A and B are shown apart, each in its own frame.
Chain A
């Protein structure tokens, strides 16, 4: 199994540009999670999907952030327009279960390091 795949691994962009992060979950997993990690705030859950449906997006910081999961094998996290304070490492994770992060083992991808200048 290839594990959770994220792309790109590194992204450097200028303020105001659109950024799209991509994630391919582990085959057979039905829950997908997007996290953001910074030194100041640690690892925060942004949104999670269960069976391709967004269950809770209350962790998304503001309207500039959006996430989609068009099918079971692909998800995107988009930031438009990007700002320097969005600089962070963004992780995608997947699990097999009911979509509640507290009960199921999550497998994390390698992350995308985003730098907005």
Chain B
């Protein structure tokens, strides 16, 4: 079971870079690391996924060290609309019972 640990909340200001770190000490060899964003009253939305090193897309970057026991989601120049809950998911290929998004990180972007 690749349980994840994230900070409960973070505050930032508009225009800053935000880094959210997720710990997953028991990650399995075949597991990928996926980050989702969720706004109130909406379903989660895929942000980025990676296996190792660095992945970048149009909205974020994902940094994964060699031991893969943690990962960092980096959001460049956040805006007020980035206020949301961010989930780190390291899903096991085993039982679905083990697949939980947890409580995520509430990011609040201030003006």
Contacts and interface: CB of A to CB of B under 8 A. Distances in A.
Interface of A: 4, 35, 41-48, 55-59, 91, 93, 100-103, 105-111
Interface string B17-41: 0000000000000111010000001
B36 to A, nearest CB: 8
B65 interface: no
Tier of interface size on chain B: 20 to 34
Contacts of B93: 100, 102
Contacts of A110: 41-43
Contact of B101 (A42, A48, A55, A56): A42
25 contacts: A4-B43, A35-B101, A42-B100, A43-B87, A44-B99, A44-B100, A45-B97, A45-B100, A47-B96, A56-B95, A58-B95, A58-B96, A59-B95, A93-B43, A101-B89, A101-B91, A102-B89, A102-B91, A102-B92, A105-B46, A105-B49, A109-B43, A110-B41, A110-B43, A111-B43
B45 interface: yes
Interface string B61-97: 0000000000000000000000000010111110111
Q: At the interface, is chain B mostly helix, strand, loop or mixed? A: loop
Contacts of A48: 96
Of B46, B96, B101, B103, the most chain A CB neighbours within 10 A belong to: B96
A56 B96 contact: yes
Of B43, B49, B103, the most chain A CB neighbours within 10 A belong to: B43
B91 A42 contact: no
B43 A41 contact: no
Given A48-B96, A58-B96, A42 B104 contact: yes
